[in-house]
Amino acid sequence: MAITVTDINKLRQQTGAGMMDCKKALEESNGDFEAAVDFLRKKGAKVAANRADRDAKEGVVLSKITADKKTAIVVSVNCETDFVAKNADFIQFAETVATIALTKLPSSIDALKALPYNNEITVADKFMEQVGKIGEKIDIGYYNVINAEQVVGYIHPGNRLAVAIGFNKKVSDEVAKNVAMQAAAMAPVAIDKDDVDKDTINRELEIAREVIRAEGKSEDMVEKIALGKLNKFYKDSTLLNQEFFIDNKLTVRQYLQGIEKDLTVLALKRYSLS
């Protein structure tokens, strides 16, 4: 059957694929729109498979919170190039994925991909369409959820870094933003020293020991100095023990306790594109 420009434009509006791709899809499916959409998805899947070994290190990182300020998500929709990451349509696609994640709160990336994107396709199907349209590897690089008495989300300008912070009680918008910006700027690995995983502690100690030995210190001093360096690591790399970026005479813990004695941070998720 004859494929008209109107048919092609309709399919383009529906899928976002290029004009020639839509024309070929309609020709291959004899004008059947559903079959044409499937054809385009298959093309997207093929492109995705061909680019599976490519690095998707660019993208859009977003944080969103629920209306009651008790739940927050951080999600990264990744692509291969900065050019695509800055495209308005791609940013809107990432925003839609983040909204779906916040609304449904799936338990994992795979569960998020299995959710409906709209009434017709899943999130995973939409990713395949985007691969077919853009020609780059596109995927969800990170997804996490926090729950607390009050949460805050912060997206650093440029959409390459986002943070979600959970507090044990309600705080002002100013306090919430200050702590979120602290986490964004200072990249803590954990909330407090007891939250640092054992592998990280062992790695820091081993590095410290090697440095100390290379400096010619006696072996009976190595462990003592290494523990001192570990304490310095806790001060630099755990949120509550870091110097507060607005007033370096205070730690973040002291800043929070100055507002309310038992005020603290219970949850932290931070993701940044390298």
- For the segment 174-188, the average pLDDT, to the nearest whole number, is 97
pLDDT at 53 over 90: no
Of 18-22, 166-170, 228-232, where does mean pLDDT reach its minimum?
18-22
How far, CA to CA in Å, does 94 sit from each of 10, 153, 193? 23, 16, 34
Query: Sorting pLDDT into bands at 50, 70 and 90, what band is 47?
Result: confident
The full set of domains in the chain, from first to last, is: 5-50 (1.10.8.10), 58-186 (3.30.479.20), 193-257 (no CATH)
What's the rounded Cα separation, in Å, for the pair 98 and 109?
12
Q: For 8-39, how does the pLDDT look when each residue is reduced to its tens digit (9 = 90+)?
A: 888 887 777 888 888 999 999 999 988 988 88
pLDDT at 21: 87
Burial tier of 152 (Cβ tally within 10 Å: 0-12, 13-18, 19+): buried
Residue 10, pLDDT score: 85
Predicted TM-score (pTM) of the model is 0.84
Q: What is the pLDDT of residue 2?
A: 82
Tell me the mean pLDDT in the region 213-236.
93
Paired strand residues for 54:
none
pLDDT band at 232 (very low <50, low <70, confident <90, very high): very high
Strands (E), 80-222: 139-147, 150-155, 161-167
Residue-wise pLDDT for 56-82, tens only, equals: 899 999 999 999 999 999 999 999 999
Place 1 in a pLDDT band, splitting at 50, 70 and 90.
Answer: low
Which residue type sits at 79? C
Contact status, residue 182 vs residue 239, Cβ threshold 8 Å? yes
d(CA 29, CA 41): 13
| 102-111, 122-131, 211-220 — most confident range | 102-111
pLDDT of residue 52: 77
pLDDT digits (tens, 9 = 90+) for 77-110: 999 999 999 999 999 999 999 999 999 999 999 9
Is the pLDDT assigned to residue 244 strictly greater than 90? yes
When pLDDT is cut at 50, 70 and 90, the band that residue 43 belongs to is confident
- C-alpha distances (whole Å) from 2 to each of 22, 30, 180 are 14, 8, 57
- Mean pLDDT (the chain) is 93
> Is the model's pLDDT at 151 over the cut of 80?
yes
